[in-house]
Amino acid sequence: MDATAAPFSPLLLLGLALRPVPGVAALRVARPLVDAVARRLSPLVRDRLEGLSGTVAVLPTDFPYGLMVHVGADGLRMEPVDVLAGACGATAILRAPAFMLLDLAEGQGRDGDASFFARDLTLEGDTALVMALRYALEDAADTGAAPFTLVADSLPLPTALRARLASHLKTTAHLAADDVRKVQAAVLDPVRAWRARVDARLAAMEDRLARAERQSRPRSSVALTGKETHVPDA
Amino acid sequence: MSRTLELVCPAGTPSALTAAVEAGADAVYFGFRDRTNARNFPGLNFSAAEAAQAAALCRDRGVRPMIAINTFAAAGQEHIWRQAVDTAARVGVGAIIVADIGVAAYAARTYPDLRLHLSVQAAAANPEAVAYYARLFNVQRVVLPRVFTVDDIRMVTASQPGVEVEVFVLGGLCVMAEGRCTLSSYATGRSPNRDGVCSPAEDVRYEQEGDVLVSRLAGYTINRFGPGEDAGYPTLCKGRFEARGRASYLFEDPVSLDATALLPDLAAAGVTAIKVEGRQRGKAYVAAVVGNLRRAIDSLANGGPPGVAVSAAGFTEGGRTTEGAYKRGWR
């Protein structure tokens, strides 16, 4: 998969559904939640990010909004951004499908190296900062900083509800991803089957053509040495 | 198979260590957050407090914790390496993995009960070298270079039966004389030997030129991956260079080592432990490959096939695996 191409995903569909919403309004709504998530996350990753500074633009390839992650002496800050607005001021840019980015933050699925090898993820700019951020986030995920947990914990809800909401969000996201994959398969499988039939027919035609060509050649003769030799064309 | 191979697994963070333990590691190796270990990457490794917690977790779960102090001490700064040995001893690790003779001497003299393993970085590549480390420093295990064949390994185990042998079976494949390679230094001024880092992240830059991925190290272009082509690490030994007008991998392809299929041969050759490379990898990698190798070892112990450890999981560098030097056709 080309990391710059948008995969068919629930967030791609959600992004399309959000298209009528003005970007400025969407970012304004998202900002308080993103601020709250950053406040919870910052102390959990500060240790591994010590001495580093810069801004990582995390840009999903299948969703219109991403994050600018600012790392500095005061810890970590985040702000939502419109992906189309680019990554102005970023010292590093990370692009990948949104679910892959969530998996990376949680340490699930494939790891960052594997996604990079497969070209599903692209990284430009300050490699050291991105690597450190990745290790910090992955390690923090085991201490209550998994993405859905962070979101749930940042909402004004009773403590008992937060864990249930985090679990529900995660389950719903994965179910939605499965459903979208099923839709994709339902659409593409008949096309793949048709293509397989066409490929098989082409292969059969090529085979028949090759046999016809062999049969149309001058007949071979066996020399006295016993080795098969071909009669020259001319 | 009568021998059971010990499974030695990497951990770059406490969460990766937990993943390795839960996936069935027999031993886990990790390093401190400084240049005393060969994966001195930003954001990676363990503080002294984390190392203590990790060692305690390992001991609780019956897993041997090992700390890699496997770079070469700089003159005048030996205290950094000695301090690492002191900390490792204090937190109660099951072994330390050393490369430098001076560090080995300090550890052997100061902590005679602390188990010493010789890192692959020491490049002990013949029975005499192994015997020397065993005799002088009471090294109990040696990690052999990744350019050995199974016959080479058998030669060492047969002549040095008192020293355990550990070999890499999975992960990054280094074809250089480890501990001697200075390729990274030429480009960046830093090397795995003295600084604990090959191709420092600070010197690595990736750029997208349309669908082409360009990797650069300290300003030198070392590879261009075409559209859809699987990528590899930005190390000079796996760079694609032009010679006689043709660009190709002159030293080594970007490819992951997977010698899982050779586990029966390695066990028969007298190998004690098999090692997974990848302290820089995420916990998803650690969990997947350690789990697969655990099943492979258990399958072998029950007379079954070893299977394939890494390729099926889609974690490979360059999208390919090799049995590397174990099956070296170029020899």
Q: Please write the tens of the pLDDT for every residue from B167-207.
A: 999 988 887 788 888 899 999 999 999 999 999 999 999 99
- State residue B330's pLDDT score: 54
How close, in Å, is residue B95 to chain A by CA atoms?
A: 24
Query: Interhelix angle for B283-301 vs B14-23, to 10°?
Result: 20
- State residue B136's pLDDT score: 97
Question: What percent of chain A shows pLDDT beyond 70?
Answer: 91
Q: Which of A2, A114, A138 lies closest to B283 in CB terms?
A: A138
For the question of an ipTM over 0.95, the answer is no
Q: Among A127, A129, A142, which would you mutate to test the B interface (most chain B Cβ atoms within 10 Å of its Cβ)?
A: A127
B239-254 CB burial, b ≥16 within 10 A, e <16: bbeeeeeeeebeebeb
Beta pairing partners, A221: A229
- State residue A233's pLDDT score: 45
CA separation for the pair B58, B78 (Å, rounded): 29
- State residue A85's pLDDT score: 82
- State residue B1's pLDDT score: 45
In order of their start, the domains of chain A are: 10-159 (3.30.1050.10)
DSSP string, B196-256: S-SS-GGGEEEEEETTEEEEEETTEEEEEEPTTPPP----GGG-EEEETTEEEESS--S-E
Name residue, tokens 């969000």: A169
- CB of A68 within 8 A of CB of A87? yes
For residues A146-158, average pLDDT: 85
Residue boundaries of the structural domains of chain B: 6-173+255-327, 183-249
Contacts of B254 in chain A (CB under 8 A): 117
Q: Which of A49, A117, A127 lies closest to B205 in CB terms?
A: A127
Contacts of A107 in chain B (CB under 8 A): 15, 19, 282-284
CA separation for the pair B47, B33 (Å, rounded): 6
Beta pairing partners, A70: A55, A77
- State residue A232's pLDDT score: 43
- State residue A231's pLDDT score: 43
Q: Report the greatest alpha carbon distance in chain B.
A: 58
Which residue of chain A has the CA closest to B13? A139
pLDDT digits (tens, 9 = 90+) for B241-257: 999 999 999 888 898 88
Lowest-confidence region among A124-128, A164-168, B39-43, B77-81: A164-168
The number of residues in chain B equals 331
CA separation for the pair A223, B264 (Å, rounded): 52
- State residue B154's pLDDT score: 95
pLDDT digits (tens, 9 = 90+) for A172-231: 888 888 888 888 888 888 898 999 999 999 999 999 999 999 888 876 555 455 444 444
pLDDT digits (tens, 9 = 90+) for A49-100: 999 999 999 999 988 999 999 999 989 999 999 988 878 889 999 999 998 9
How close, in Å, is residue B136 to chain A by CA atoms?
A: 38
A1: pLDDT strictly greater than 80: no
Low-confidence ranges of chain B (pLDDT < 50): 1-2
- State residue A230's pLDDT score: 47
B116-145 CB burial, b ≥16 within 10 A, e <16: bbbbbbbbbbeeebbbebbeebebbbbbbb
Please answer yes or no on whether B229 and A119 come within 8 Å at the CB atom. yes
- CB of B137 within 8 A of CB of B116? yes
Kindly indicate the confidence band of residue A163, based on its pLDDT and cuts at 50, 70 and 90: confident
Interface of A with B (CB under 8 A): 2, 4, 47-49, 52, 103-104, 107-114, 116-119, 122-125, 127-129, 131-136, 138-139, 141-142
How close, in Å, is residue B280 to chain A by CA atoms?
A: 9
Cβ neighbours around A11 below 10 Å, total: 24
- State residue B97's pLDDT score: 98
DSSP string, A116-169: HHTTSSEEEE-HHHHHHHHHHHHHHIIIII-HHHHHHHTSS--HHHHHHHHHHH
pTM of the model: 0.87
Q: Which of A119, A127, A139 lies closest to B213 in CB terms?
A: A119
For the domain B6-173+255-327, what is the CATH code? 3.20.20.70
Closest alpha carbon to B87 in B109, B69, B60: B69
For residues A29-49, average pLDDT: 93
Closest alpha carbon to A56 in A86, A15, A82, A87: A87
The number of CA neighbours under 13 Å toward the Cβ of B61 is 21
Name residue, tokens 């100061």: B110
- Sheet of A65-72, strand order: A75-82, A65-72, A54-60, A92-96, A122-125
Structure tokens at B218: 């300290």
The number of CA neighbours under 13 Å toward the Cβ of A187 is 6
Structure tokens at B198: 């090959």
Per DSSP, A232 falls in state P
- State residue A226's pLDDT score: 47
Residue B223 is which amino acid? N
